[in-house]
Structure formats: structure tokens, C-alpha cells
Structure 1
Amino acid sequence: MAASLAIASSALSTLYRIVVYLFLQVAPVSKAKYVIPVLYLGYALASYFGAPAFSQVIAVKEEVVAIEQEKSERNGHVVTDVAVQETTTIIPVVEPPTLKSALSAIIFSVPSPIRALRTTNFVINTLLLLAAVEFVFYPYFDSASDVVYTRVGALYPDAVKIVVRYPAANSTENLVRVVWRQADGKNDSETPWREGPIANLTAERDWVQSVSLRGLWPSTSYEYRFEDLNSTALPYPTTPIQFHTAPDPRLHSGSHYRFIASSCMTPNFPYMPLQGRRIKGLDLLTDYLWPSKPHSTAPSSAVAQNISDEDMSMSTSPVIQSVNDTSAENVTAPANITTAVPAPEKSVPPTAFMVFMGDFIYADVPIYFGDDAEAYRRLYRRNYNSPSFRKVYERLPIIHTYDDHEIINNYAGLGNSSLPPYPNATNAFELYNADANYDPIEEGQYYYDFRYGDAAFFVMDTRKYRSDIFSDEPSSHTMLGDKQLTALYNWLGKVNNTAVFKFVVSSVPFTALWTYEALEDTWAAFPYEKSALLSAFQSVPNVIVLSGDRHEFAAIEFAAGDGGHNVLEVSTSPMSMFYVPFIRTLKPRSEEVVNRTREEVIIKEDGNMEVVKHVEEVPREKVLKYIAEGNYKWSTIEVDTRDYAHPVVRVEIMIDGKPAYHLEVLGKPIKLQSTTALGALVPQSLRGMLDRIGLKPSRWF
């Protein structure tokens, strides 16, 4: 019996370690937090009662004894008679283990007679249990109630939104004034501070408020800090926070900037002991954006695709070029493809902002602390208390949308804003993230649109209005709801010829190629609404969909029929979370096809040319590139419209801090009207002088 328990102890210990490893390093599945203590208890009991079976080892030692009995004389010779007797002595011996056997006993939990090895296994398993407990309960005990922070959200040509959290001791209210000035890098210390808005911070609102700073110049650098009402500078921030206003969209001289897109993050995953506030993906992003040593911006591979001017003139869709891709099967382009040498190093444009596409917190992973306003707020405070995140949000403006894990897994709101846990969950989302976004299209909503230079953005709300897909007719299911759909269609019409590139932000993938649970949580579950939207997207040139959620990267091309425009989707996540190894859930192409006419010029024997049209079937959705591996992923989207005839978007995919894939989208030229905005044409040096004499630049444009 004891021997059986000892073997069971070894088996339970091995299974326990596997489950803990998967929970802390691979995927923090919620059910594991119940399985782990049960396995540990089973291992401890079996180890305790099975120990006597391995308390001693009996070794058998054989001895041979020679005994001389007598000597005698025979035939004149002395003869010695010897009797040989074999005896076996049983001696109990506990032999010391070899290094190999000791390591096997510790690593694989092999039953051992050595008490020290059994004790070592027990200590290791106990430490693993404590690690799991720390990972699960750290968010609860790390309330971060005293965190002080500020960041920039929405950037306008003449304004900016600023978030501040500044709790006051022994009070229920704290009045903090924003003071600001232009920051041109020259004699900033001599530039006087100007009084800005006052943030009325209250305990009821968790000491958080977003304020708007207005009357600014477009494309201008500023800095701000805080004072109390007595004009005394507050200790935080220790150095002023800088930002750069958006360009005037009416000045169509072209833009060149980049922004970051990603989603899904939680502190300390994969788990490391005593690192509860670290978000490693943001540490890598910090090094990428502000490296101590400059990074090379040239592709590391000599593989590229060049499309001739003739091919471009025949296409009404953006031409997609894949750079630094060693997998030829993942590349699509017209037939005329040549190999190019690596591009020379280029100057890196400024990073203007970051779009965070949801799952900013994980309210239900690894444990759901309940539908309580404080439970949700605590998780936001924890993120903003992270030194990793602070290095980013104090230097980079961030705008947000939300997804299910800000509420609860696979949440569908049914258009009911009072449906628990939506009210408390979105209260925290508003305070910490949404209030600093661009103004919503309709008051009280979380979808919005904005312009940055000559690019337009529409950020969806994919949770509040989504239907229950398991009820009613599929044709009636909606992701966005009637009002949001109307706003999106109106936006498409408005930006059709007034913006070069159009970015549609969806927290969940637009493609239907992801399988398993994605068939219920992504746009695949809303085929009718998706099909109508895709038709609308393909009627507008240069539409790019940005999405997250799947903890993988994929670039998807949506093919259009004749006269339409191809649409590209770039889906990127996680910023800092798990990915699932070995299991692949993305189909390479859709079964649904579209017909497209291809023209071929044939030269006859008589020298005349004949244009032959071929109708070919192409997949409606096709994967250009798929990368599942990596705990830390983000996309860098570079928008370059300085060359009116050749606008381009360059996408760089960063995985675990290293470049993994490059994509180049050549957009269709859009003729935009010129501006009459005088303020956009004024040099920054003159703007500073006008500011000092009290002229309001916002009246000039």
C-alpha cells in the first residue's frame, strides 16, 4: 500500500508541475486555479503516507572465505588439504545517489529513498503553489490606491485631452490646475507658464479626471505640469510632460508619421516571481520607441516586391508589397515581381500616438473578483502603477477602445447599458481610458472618429450593441447596432474623397478565417452585417482594418470584384500576454470566392495587339502572413502621403522586441482640396511670439 502511494505521489507531483507551468508560463486558464491546489493536496497526502516504502534500501553483499583444515604427508610429500566455504552475509546499506539519479528524482519527481531529495521535491512544489497564489491574488492586494499619474489622450490641431490622477490625503476633493507652455527646445526655461483648466478630483471618481487644453497651434510641441490653486508647482511630474499637437487636416501638404497598434495586456505574464507590476511588452516597446542605441530601419532581408507603374495603373486597389518575408506562399502580388536589394536606411518619422484596441485589463483572468466598481478600478490603477507602462504613457499619447475582458469574457451587451456587469465595468473604463479619447459621435457612446493629418480613423464599439448569436434569426444579428452602423456609413461617405487612408479599428478580427471560439466572438458570428460592411469598405479606396483580440498576428487581404477596392486587415495582439503554442486556428483562405477580370495583351502575327479578358476566381479572404508565436506583439503603422501620386502605408510587425514582418501598401491617389487655414501656415517661431503677446491661435484656422 505504501509503495502504491509513493508512486501516486510521484505521478501527482509531475502532473501538478505541468499544470502550474502551463498556468504561469503558457496560458492562465481560469480553471487551473482550482486544479492546482487539489493536485498539491493530493501530492502532499500521498507523499506523507507513502514515505515508509522508500525509507531504506537493502543491499546484498557476498563474501568468499577460504579455511585451511590440516596438513599431511603422502608418498613423501607434504599435502595441504583446504576446504573452501562460501558464505553470504546480508548487510543493510543506504547508497548515496549519483548526480544523475538525484537530478532525475528532483526534476521528474521520481520516488527516492533519500529523505533530502523527498524534502527538496516538497519544497519545490510548495514554492510553485506560492507562485500561483501570488499570481492569482496579487491584483487584489496591490490596490495601487495611491498611484499618481498623468497622460495625454486625444490630439487635436488646436487642443489636447489630458488625464490626471492625484489623490489627496484626508480629503474628498483635490483641485489641480494644468499649466502649459510651448516647448520648442530652445530656452524653454524662459518661456512663462500659462494657466490652463482646473481638474476637480474627487474620491467618488477615484481621483481621476480628463480635461481639455485648448487654444493651441497645430503641429506644435508643448509641455505641461500641475500646480495647486496657490500657483505652487506640485511634485509630480518631476519633469513636464511633452506632447505634439495634430497637423491641420485642411493643410493638404502630405503627412509622414507613425503610430502603434496592439491590444491585450496584463502585468507579469509570463509569470516571474516578485514582478507583479511589470509589463514586459511595454518594456520592449519603450526600447523600440526610445532606444539607448539607434535601431536600423532597413529590412533585414533582401526579399521585396516591386510592382511596375503599368501594373499600378491597371489596379483600382491598394497594391500590397511584402518585405522581409521568407515564406513565398504567404505573398500575393501581380505577376510582374522582381527581386530588389535591401532599401537604404531611412529616417524614422515621429511616433504620434498609440491605438490600444481592447483587453486593457483582464477582469476575469486568472480570477474574477466580482461585479464591483472597486474591483474594476483596482485593475486600471494597477496598470497605471506599472513602471513599464509609465515609461510609455508619460511620453506617448494613447487612445482606447474596449473589448470583453474589460467586462467579462465574450460579453454581449444586447444594447442594454444597465445589464450587469456593464455599468461598473464601463464606469472604470470611462474614468481611466474613454474620457480621454476623441469626443464620441453621440454623447455617452464609446465609438468615435478622428482625423490625423490626411488620414481618417473610425473606432468601433463591438461590445455594447452585439446580439446574442444563439437566439433569433442570424440575419437580425448585429455587432454595432443601428446608430453605430449609420455613423460608420456616414463616416465612409464623408472621408471617401477627403482623406487618403481610412483606418477602421475593431477590437475583434473582421476576418472569418479564425476558427474555434473565434467563430462566436469575432465578426464571423455576424455574417450578414459583415458582408454589408465589407461591400461598403470596398467601395472606398485605401481602407485598412486594424484589429486585435486573438493573441496572434495576421495580415488578411479581402479581394474585391471588378471596380472595387481591396481591403487589408492587420490584426495584432497581444501587447503583453499569452499565446497558444502548437495549436493553429487560422485558415489560409476562405472558401467563398469573387470573380475578377484580368486583361492580357496579346501581339498577333500581323503586329496588331489584342486585349483578351480572363475571368478568374480568387478567395474573398486570403492570409498574407500569419505569425502565432510571441508573447509581445505590436504593429507600427507608418503613414507617408508626402508624394501625392504614391501614398504609402508601411507596416512593421514587432514580436518579442524584434522585427518579424514588413508590409507595404501603395494607396490610390486621392485629390484633396487645399486649405485656407492661416494658422497652419505660420512658422512655429512666430506662433511662440504671438502666444507671448496674448493672441489666440485657434481663431486663425
Structure 2
Amino acid sequence: MASLQRIVAATSSAAIRLAAFVFLRWIPGHHFVPLVFTSLVVYLSSITSLTWGSQPRTRQTNKSQTDKNSRKPVADPAQTGDSVFKTLLGGLPHAKSRWLTYTTVVINIVLTLLCFDFLTRGYLFYPNDDISFSRIGHVSSTTANLVFREPDTAHLPVTVSYQETEENSGSWYEQGMVYSLDNSTDFTVAVTLDNLKPSTSYRYSLSNNRSGTFITSPRPKSPEASRLSFVTSSCLKPNFPYNILSHPLRVPGIEQMTDVLAKLPKLLRPAFMLFLGDFIYIDVPYRFGSSMSHYRSEYRRIYSSPSWSYGSAENRAIDLPWLHTLDDHEIENDWSQGNKTSPYPEAADPFIHYHVAANPPIPSTPFAEPHNVTYFSFTNGPASFFMLDTRTYRTEPAQEHSTILGHAQLQSLLTYISTPEQPGIHWKIVSSSVPFTKNWHVGTTDTWGGFMNERRTVFEAMWRAERDLGVRIILLSGDRHEFGATRFPDPALNLPSNELQPNSPGLGLHEFSVGPLSMFYLPIRTYRQTDNEDVTVKYAPQGNSKFGIIDIVDDLEDVDPSAEAPVPVRSSVLTYSLYVDGAAVWKYRLSVPLDQDPVVHASLSDSAKASRLPSGRVLEDNIPELGLGIAIGAAVGRVPELAKWALGKSQDVYFDLLERLQKAERLS
């Protein structure tokens, strides 16, 4: 029978190895940090006792006999059952070989050191107080927002200049000079380049040797305004999955995205990145503090990543305009305590200086004081955008009067949805840091699933707008480290059950939720359709790097491909392409007819006539549906739901039995 010390040694060794694997390659959760280090202390104590504590203590008079005894095993191998396999994999000492014992001990120590390296190398050795960088944010047809950081006063004042990239004269236009920068903004400043030409490529230059390029958006109603491409994702963490040979601030997902975009035809290059939250992870893998300086240092570390300059000079990620929304890991996990409670004020400071300063303008009707608004609206080509803030104004979820947007933002969103768009704009795109769908059954209350009354109000306004305004509304979200495409059919359509089946294209508001750009994913399947309100179109959980590319263009589209004689109609066509680990795996198409005549309308199905919008359709699908791993993951994903159901049933039985007993007692 194994001794207690051997059981402790084997258990602590298994804890180190399993926790280290999960921490470094699967999920860098903060719970694993104390588990690994505590397990190592327990393991070293028990292995020391087993290896040296049980040796004979009687004094040896014969030196040769002493040397001989020192090489003896502690116990008989036949009694302990020692083997090379058990020693190296189980972490137990070997009775015959000290070398094997030392090797298995070193394995556990090295695994712990790797965890320590992942945890601290970036934090300790890359505070990057002296980082200098520049980036482009929102770009309109005549302006471009530029943010840069310069902590070295020797480079002040900083002159900001720009020129058209195709000009051969070499003439530069000076936008202005920045004379002072200080710690109040972490040495950052935002500058707006103006008087620019639409659909024109520019380069900017700063006198501190920072430079970059950008392209202005097309002039509204111009022929170029019928096309738009952009990329969207969420969630990134440097050097994950962990690689000891990698730079601690390298972001593999950014580099994969850069490679993909560089291969696209010039016409399909995205105009911007719509990044939907969790740009930093202040609490993953471990929160070192909650002060403003801690939050600022996380932004500096991300912007110090070598991945921003990865690839050729013409395709750097830092030259792609990035637009940002706020989510919980930029504050605290599952944050719902408002914008006054600490650490929100400390977290909001760098988010405002690094991101909000370069974001699009606030809505024209914000229903709040402009300086308190952190939701944004803009137009680019054939689409208008409303970027929601689902963290700053939310209250506790799953309550009678819970709000995820707050009154002012909700009214601003409803006004945006109900307002007719200018000619040439056929899409309203609403972005949220968390998914609208309630099909995710773990952490549901942290999404719109915890605010169902407000979701219903928003959806009713969207369905009404699609019926009355001749536009199509698309929902974009992130947060879940998985991809889920969901549609929300308008109840007024009274769709038959065959058009509400899971994993089917069709009618309805469409949501595309994607992430992470570079982070962990869960092999446990937690997304599934449970009713006819949220209809699954596609679910793809695998992949440490996932992003979507949205391309909108005028084209001929069969408005009802299922008809016996499909009729091509000039339409604004949106194609969503999902990329997983650098490869395109799924494509989906939606359209808005632009010149639908009575003959074409008569050829549509009844549901298509009622909606005035054609059904979505899958163009490409390379995502596996079946497999043992997927089946196991789906089964494990249902454990929390089944446990909740069992607990509810147990409570029902208990209270029913109690009521029966009380009734019997009253009768007696």
C-alpha cells in the first residue's frame, strides 16, 4: 500500500503538470497561479522526505560500507513498484536511480519556472515607460484622427505633417505643433488631420521620427461609396499560447491577420479594424494592481508589441485604423458596477487617452452631456455604424429593471435605429462588446441574455426599421472567444418551423460574434439553440485567432435563389468571411435589393415578400460538424445547465413535500 508521502508527492506533481499545461497552453486563468506554486512547495517537501528522510541514521564505521550504503536505494523496488515510467510521468522518486529522481524533480521545477516566466517577464522587464508610438483611429472623407505618445521632452515640440503618397513633388502640409506633453494624459495627445481629399492615400510624419499611412473614406454618394471592407474581432493577450522562445509582448493573432490582409486584392483591403473590447487583460493571468498606473502600463505594453510592425512596410497592423469599444477585462471581469465605483475611473483614464481620443464622434443625439458619452456613431460608404458601450452604464443583470446601456445610450440607439439614412446607405451596423444572443449557456447574464427586456425593446425597433426604412441591420459582437452567427427572426413574419431550425441560413436580424483575435478558446461547447427566438446559423469554437472580414459591394444578386427561375437584382451585398488561425473557413452573404420591381417582387417566397429582404445564404463552409472531441465538448458544456436544472428540480420536490406535510398536519 502506498504511503501517505507518496500519495502527496504524486498528487502535487500531477497538479503542477496539469495546471501548468492548462495555464500555458489552454486557459491562462489566475486561479492556476497559486495552485502551481503551492503544489511545487508541497511536492518538494514530500519528495525530500521520501528521498533523504528515510535513509538509515546508524553511524557506519567502515568508510567503504558507508559509500556502499549511500548508493543503496531507499527501499526495495519490488516493494515500491518503481519504474522509469512512474518516476518520469508520476513525479515519484526512483529507488534505484537518483538520476531519474532528479530528472522528474527538475521537470516540475522547470514547468513552474515557465509559468513564472509567462506571468512576470512582460510585467517586470517591459514597463515601457519610455515607449513612443503613433497610430491612426477614425478616418472620414476629409479628416483622420491621429494619436501619438512621446515621453521624451527632448523631442518637443513635435511637428505633425502629412502628404499624399502618390505625390512626386515631396511637398508636405504642416497640420500643427504639439508643444507640451505630460503625465496627465500619460504623454499622449490626439491630433485631427483635416482638409483631406476623399478616397486618397496619405502618409503622415512626426518630427520625433514616427510615421504611418492611411486612406480617407469615400465622399458620400460617390461611386466609391458603394463599397466598404473592414475587419472585426475582440480579445488579445501577448504570447499566448505561451512560447518561451517568443518575445513576451508578441501577439500571434495580429501577425496572422497581417498575413491574411496582405494577400487580399487591393480593392478588398479593409478600411479599419472594429475592435470590440478586451484590448488589455488587466486580470489575466494575474492582476498586479488596480491603480491608474497599472492600467496605463498594460496599454503601453500592448503598443510596444513587435507584432504591430510585423510584415512589409505597406501592410503593418499599426497603419490599419483601429476603432475601440470597452469591455470587462479592461476594467474587471464581468464588470457591472457603473462608472463611479473603483476601479472604473482608474481603468477609464488610459482607455480615453489611448482609444476614445481617436475614436469616431459621438452620436448627434447622445441624450447626455457630450463629455460623459462613450458610445460613437459614424458613416462610411454604404453603411452607418453605432458603437455601443455595454460596460460603463450597465447595472446588475437579471433584475426586473436591469439595463445594459443606461437610459441616455438606449434613447440614442433607438433614435439612430429609427432615423432614415441618406441615399446610398443600405446598412445599419450596431456593434456591442458582448453578444446579443442568449444561445451561450455559460456566463449568459454577462451578455444581453441578462438584459432581456432591454434587448426586446431594441429588437422591436430594429425589426420595425427593417420593415419601414429599406435598410438591413447587422449586429457585431465579441467577448466569447468563440464564433457564433445567430439570426433573430421578426415575429411578424410568422416563419414556419422549417425556417427556424438550427444551423440554417434565413431571414431575421443577423449577429456575427467573433473572438479572440489572439487568446485562448474553450473546447467545451456552450453555445446552442434552445428556442425559435435565437436561431443558430453557425457555431465555431476552435481557434486561438479568429476574426471576420466584412465586404459590402453593389452587385447582381439572386433575391430568391430557391425559386425555379431566380431573378438577379442589383443589390448591396454584404459578405462575412470568418478566418480561424489564418485560414478562411466560412462565408455568408446578405443583400439589400436596390431596384426591386413588381415582377421581381412577385417571384419571391411569401416570407421574403413580407420581409422585403432576401434570406441569407452560406457561400462556403469548412467547419467540421462531427467528431468525438466535439461530442465530448458538447456534453461537458451541458453540465452547468444540467446541474442548475437538477438543483431546481430538487428545490421543487422539497417545497412540494414540505407543502404536503404542512397540509397533512393541518388536516390532522
Q: What TM-score, normalized by structure 2, do the two folds share?
A: 0.75
Contact 1:553 1:571 in 2 (8 A): yes
Q: 1:196 to 1:348 in 2, by over 3 A?
A: closer
Alpha-carbon separation, structure 2, partners of 1:482 and 1:365: 32
Matches within 5 A, 1:134-173: 134-141=117-124, 142-168=126-152
Aligned mate of 1:371, from 286, 290, 293: 290
The one-letter amino acid of 1:284's match is Q
Q: 5+ unaligned residues in a row in structure 1: which ranges?
A: 57-91, 228-233, 296-345, 592-618, 672-701
Deviations 1:373-411 (A, max 9, x none): 110000000000001134444221111001011000111
Deviations 1:328-373 (A, max 9, x none): xxxxxxxxxxxxxxxxxx8851211100000000111111222211
In structure 2, what is the equivalent of residue 586 of structure 1? 527
- The 3-state SS of whatever aligns with 2:162 is strand
In structure 2, what is the equivalent of residue 198 of structure 1? 177
Contact 1:154 1:397 in 2 (8 A): yes
Matches within 5 A, 1:303-322: none
Following TM superposition, by how much is the alpha carbon of 1:497 offset from its aligned partner in structure 2, in angstroms?
5.9
Following TM superposition, by how much is the alpha carbon of 1:5 offset from its aligned partner in structure 2, in angstroms?
1.9
Following TM superposition, by how much is the alpha carbon of 1:15 offset from its aligned partner in structure 2, in angstroms?
2.0
Following TM superposition, by how much is the alpha carbon of 1:112 offset from its aligned partner in structure 2, in angstroms?
1.6
In structure 2, what is the equivalent of residue 512 of structure 1? 438
Following TM superposition, by how much is the alpha carbon of 1:138 offset from its aligned partner in structure 2, in angstroms?
3.0
Matches within 5 A, 1:340-379: 349-379=268-298
In structure 2, what is the equivalent of residue 21 of structure 1? 21
Contact 1:404 1:410 in 2 (8 A): yes
Alpha-carbon separation, structure 2, partners of 1:625 and 1:106: 43
Contact 1:253 1:642 in 2 (8 A): no
Matches within 5 A, 1:176-187: 176-184=158-166, 187=168
In structure 2, what is the equivalent of residue 217 of structure 1? 197
Following TM superposition, by how much is the alpha carbon of 1:570 offset from its aligned partner in structure 2, in angstroms?
0.2
Residue 107 in structure 1 maps to residue 89 in structure 2 = yes
In structure 2, what is the equivalent of residue 647 of structure 1? 572
In structure 2, what is the equivalent of residue 174 of structure 1? 156
Q: 1:544 to 1:244 in 2, by over 3 A?
A: same
Matches within 5 A, 1:459-498: 459-469=387-397, 473-474=399-400, 476-496=401-421, 498=423
Aligned mate of 2:230, from 236, 247, 259: 259
- The 3-state SS of whatever aligns with 1:42 is helix
Q: 1:667 to 1:642 in 2, by over 3 A?
A: same
Following TM superposition, by how much is the alpha carbon of 1:287 offset from its aligned partner in structure 2, in angstroms?
1.0
Q: 1:348 to 1:121 in 2, by over 3 A?
A: farther
Deviations 1:648-673 (A, max 9, x none): 111111111111211111224389xx
The one-letter amino acid of 1:131's match is L
In structure 2, what is the equivalent of residue 622 of structure 1? 535
Alpha-carbon separation, structure 2, partners of 1:413 and 1:439: 26
Per residue, is there more helix in 1 or in 2?
2
The one-letter amino acid of 2:432's match is S
Quote the RMSD (CA, aligned, Å).
Answer: 2.7
Contact 1:646 1:669 in 2 (8 A): yes
Alpha-carbon separation, structure 2, partners of 1:536 and 1:124: 59
Contact 2:227 2:382 in 1 (8 A): no
Following TM superposition, by how much is the alpha carbon of 1:2 offset from its aligned partner in structure 2, in angstroms?
9.6
Q: 1:55 to 1:397 in 2, by over 3 A?
A: farther
Following TM superposition, by how much is the alpha carbon of 1:569 offset from its aligned partner in structure 2, in angstroms?
0.3
Deviations 1:471-506 (A, max 9, x none): xx51x2111111111111111123456421111000
The one-letter amino acid of 1:288's match is V
Q: What TM-score, normalized by structure 1, do the two folds share?
A: 0.72
The one-letter amino acid of 1:450's match is F
Alpha-carbon separation, structure 1, partners of 2:94 and 2:53: 10
Contact 2:135 2:318 in 1 (8 A): yes
In structure 2, what is the equivalent of residue 552 of structure 1? 482
The one-letter amino acid of 2:377's match is D
Per residue, is there more strand in 1 or in 2?
1
Q: 1:491 to 1:2 in 2, by over 3 A?
A: closer
Aligned mate of 1:406, from 330, 350, 360: 330
Alpha-carbon separation, structure 1, partners of 2:224 and 2:22: 52
The one-letter amino acid of 1:50's match is L
Contact 2:571 2:595 in 1 (8 A): no
Q: 1:669 to 1:107 in 2, by over 3 A?
A: farther
Contact 2:233 2:516 in 1 (8 A): yes
In structure 2, what is the equivalent of residue 343 of structure 1? none
Contact 2:13 2:40 in 1 (8 A): yes
Deviations 1:142-174 (A, max 9, x none): 2111211111100111000011112215x7x93
Alpha-carbon separation, structure 1, partners of 2:224 and 2:251: 39
Contact 1:252 1:454 in 2 (8 A): no
Contact 1:157 1:216 in 2 (8 A): yes
Matches within 5 A, 1:299-338: none
Q: 1:412 to 1:670 in 2, by over 3 A?
A: farther
Q: 1:642 to 1:134 in 2, by over 3 A?
A: same
The one-letter amino acid of 1:119's match is Y
Q: 1:48 to 1:109 in 2, by over 3 A?
A: same
Contact 2:487 2:534 in 1 (8 A): yes
Following TM superposition, by how much is the alpha carbon of 1:111 offset from its aligned partner in structure 2, in angstroms?
3.7
- The 3-state SS of whatever aligns with 2:516 is coil
Alpha-carbon separation, structure 1, partners of 2:156 and 2:22: 45
In structure 2, what is the equivalent of residue 524 of structure 1? 449
Following TM superposition, by how much is the alpha carbon of 1:560 offset from its aligned partner in structure 2, in angstroms?
1.4
In structure 2, what is the equivalent of residue 631 of structure 1? 544
The one-letter amino acid of 1:246's match is S
Alpha-carbon separation, structure 2, partners of 1:626 and 1:201: 47
Aligned mate of 1:279, from 251, 272, 277: 251
Alpha-carbon separation, structure 2, partners of 1:174 and 1:204: 16
Residue 241 in structure 1 maps to residue 212 in structure 2 = yes
The one-letter amino acid of 2:391's match is R
- The 3-state SS of whatever aligns with 2:487 is strand
Alpha-carbon separation, structure 2, partners of 1:585 and 1:152: 37
- The 3-state SS of whatever aligns with 2:268 is coil
Alpha-carbon separation, structure 1, partners of 2:420 and 2:328: 29
- The 3-state SS of whatever aligns with 1:5 is helix
Alpha-carbon separation, structure 1, partners of 2:39 and 2:511: 44
Residue 132 in structure 1 maps to residue 115 in structure 2 = yes
The one-letter amino acid of 1:193's match is W
Alpha-carbon separation, structure 1, partners of 2:595 and 2:331: 40
Alpha-carbon separation, structure 1, partners of 2:39 and 2:15: 8
Alpha-carbon separation, structure 2, partners of 1:437 and 1:40: 47
Q: 5+ unaligned residues in a row in structure 2: which ranges?
A: 57-70, 311-315, 364-369, 495-506, 557-568, 597-668
Following TM superposition, by how much is the alpha carbon of 1:536 offset from its aligned partner in structure 2, in angstroms?
1.1
- The 3-state SS of whatever aligns with 2:571 is coil
In structure 2, what is the equivalent of residue 382 of structure 1? 301
Deviations 1:251-304 (A, max 9, x none): 3665223111000011111111153111111111111112xxx47xxxxxxxxx
Q: 1:226 to 1:533 in 2, by over 3 A?
A: same
- The 3-state SS of whatever aligns with 1:464 is coil
- The 3-state SS of whatever aligns with 1:624 is strand
Residue 453 in structure 1 maps to residue 381 in structure 2 = yes
Q: Max radius of gyration: which structure? A: 1
Contact 2:15 2:36 in 1 (8 A): no
Q: 1:670 to 1:123 in 2, by over 3 A?
A: farther
The one-letter amino acid of 2:323's match is I
Residue 418 in structure 1 maps to residue 340 in structure 2 = yes
The one-letter amino acid of 2:285's match is P
In structure 1, what is the equivalent of residue 498 of structure 2? none
Alpha-carbon separation, structure 2, partners of 1:424 and 1:15: 36
